[in-house]
Amino acid sequence: MLNIYKVFNCLKKCYTFIDYREALFKENGTEKTIVSIFRFSNKSYEEIDSIHEDLRSKVDNTNHFRLNFEILDLEDWATQWNILKNQIDEIVNNIDIDSISPSRNRKNSSTAWISDVDREYNSLQFNVILNSESKHHQSFQFLEGHQEIRSKGAESIYPIIRQYLQIESYDSGVYLYSTFLFPTYIKISKLKYINNYLSGNIEYHKTFGQSSIFIEKRFRGNSLGTIGDFDLKSIENKKESEDQDILNHKFIIFIDSNQFKKEEYSNYENEVQLLVKLYFKSLNLNLIEFGEYLSSIQEEILGIEKIPPQLFYIITPLLKFNLLTREEFQIESINSIRNQTIEEIKRNVEIILENYNWLIKKEQVNELETFFISAANQNNVGYLNVFKWIIIFNSQQAINNKLIQENEIRTKINDLIIFYV
């Protein structure tokens, strides 16, 4: 069974401190906790302390109700939990923390008790819930509408708790006593799809290096098989992983569309969904699982609709170098251009001439630049410069190999060479 101790021991290298917050009430001179949250964090002590100081400056505690903010060392969570549970006999008798199953919260879901501050990453959450007959839950109800609370401009303690403990949806009908929130510092972003190439970026803490990525293709809910899978560990740079906690991996996968030749698949980009899963072996759990339609990923590319479709015959081969550094990209792409066959050059020149009126205009070059910047996974990778060199090289080769005889066409070719130099 996956319990809080296993999750903590597995993920503790991701975290630095615990951002601990609690709401307390006082009755008959004794102070007890209403609700608390253990927010495991990778922030520095100074960062958390700054957040707490800002919150304290906005909170007015009263004689019977107050909020407490502390920074706990990672190993202190169990000690703090024992203090909390000993306040309430029913927890000692009925609730064992290691028997509680985790909730898997998606950053883009409306999971209860997860506020915007916790939605940057998916998380694992353990919730201690009291039953509705809880004497403890009834004992602080006298605070509702209490004169002290109203004097601070509030009708109830619950909006105050929601705001400062950042526990979404906490109210009088919620019997939450304590929650433990473990962010999973891994996310997949920058998904882009152009002419059968899917690319993206994975940012992750090295703790998750044992994870595996699976990308499944689905059409109208039916699986069409896995189009890509790889282990993060297998692609880590050893030196980088030793020096840094946060790593990045960029990937690119070719999606073979040959199986979509049937008539019912003619509009497949609008109906094919990619299901992305990230499996973390240490916890035997999918930490990430989401779906994206090809059409929605494609729409994120700026200016793609303004590029003549024929030009993608030239552009698409460049995309396979999308993950390389600027220097590597220049070398690999230029080598591939130089190694073109005469037939490929002839085909490229035909496309260039068919789109001559579009290519010869300065404003269209600006459109190409916007498109390439958006399509690239890395800034300043130099797509536009390589595209210009494709135009120049193919045009020159067409002249040198006497693929063009007509003077009028030769003039156009020379105009393009001058324009793109």
Is a pLDDT exceeding 70 seen at residue 29? yes
Per-residue pLDDT tens digits for 232-267: 865 544 444 456 788 888 787 877 766 555 555 666
CA-based angle 189:183:291, to the nearest 5?
Answer: 35
Measured CA distances, 387 to 55, 165, 309, 318 (Å): 53, 53, 15, 9
Cα separation, 228 vs 215, in Å, equals 5
How confident is the model at residue 233, as a pLDDT? 67
Helices within 125-229 (DSSP H only) = 135-139, 147-151, 158-164
pLDDT the model gives residue 327? 77
Q: Do residues 199 and 287 lie in contact, with contact meaning Cβ atoms separated by under 8 Å? A: no
Continuous H helices in 86-143 = 89-94, 135-139
Question: Helix, strand, coil % (nearest 5) of the chain?
Answer: 45, 25, 25
Residue 186: pLDDT band by 50, 70, 90 thresholds?
Answer: very high
Domains of the chain and CATH, by start: 4-183 (no CATH), 185-299 (2.60.40), 301-421 (no CATH)
Tell me: the pLDDT tens digits for 361-416?
989 888 888 888 877 755 555 788 888 999 999 999 988 888 888 888 888 999 99
- Tell me if residue 221 falls in helix, strand or coil: coil
Q: How confident is the model at residue 92 (pLDDT cuts 50, 70, 90)?
A: very low
CA dihedral over 107, 111, 117, 122, signed as positive or negative? negative
| pLDDT-above-70 percentage for the chain | 87
| pTM for the predicted model, two decimal places | 0.76
196: alpha, beta or left, given left = phi > 0 and alpha = psi -120 to 50? Answer: left
- Contact criterion met (CB below 8 Å) for 167 and 161: yes
Examine the pLDDT at 81 and tell me if it is beyond 80.
Answer: yes
Q: What radius of gyration do the chain's Cα atoms show? A: 29
Partner residues linked to 286 by β-bridges: 279
> Do residues 23 and 16 lie in contact, with contact meaning Cβ atoms separated by under 8 Å?
no
Q: Kindly list the distances between the CA atom of residue 398 and the CA atoms of 99, 352, 386, 388, in Å, as whole numbers in the listed order.
A: 73, 11, 18, 15
Burial of 254 (0-12, 13-18, 19+ CB in 10 A): middle
Which of 90-94, 281-285, 336-340, 390-394 has the least mean pLDDT? 90-94
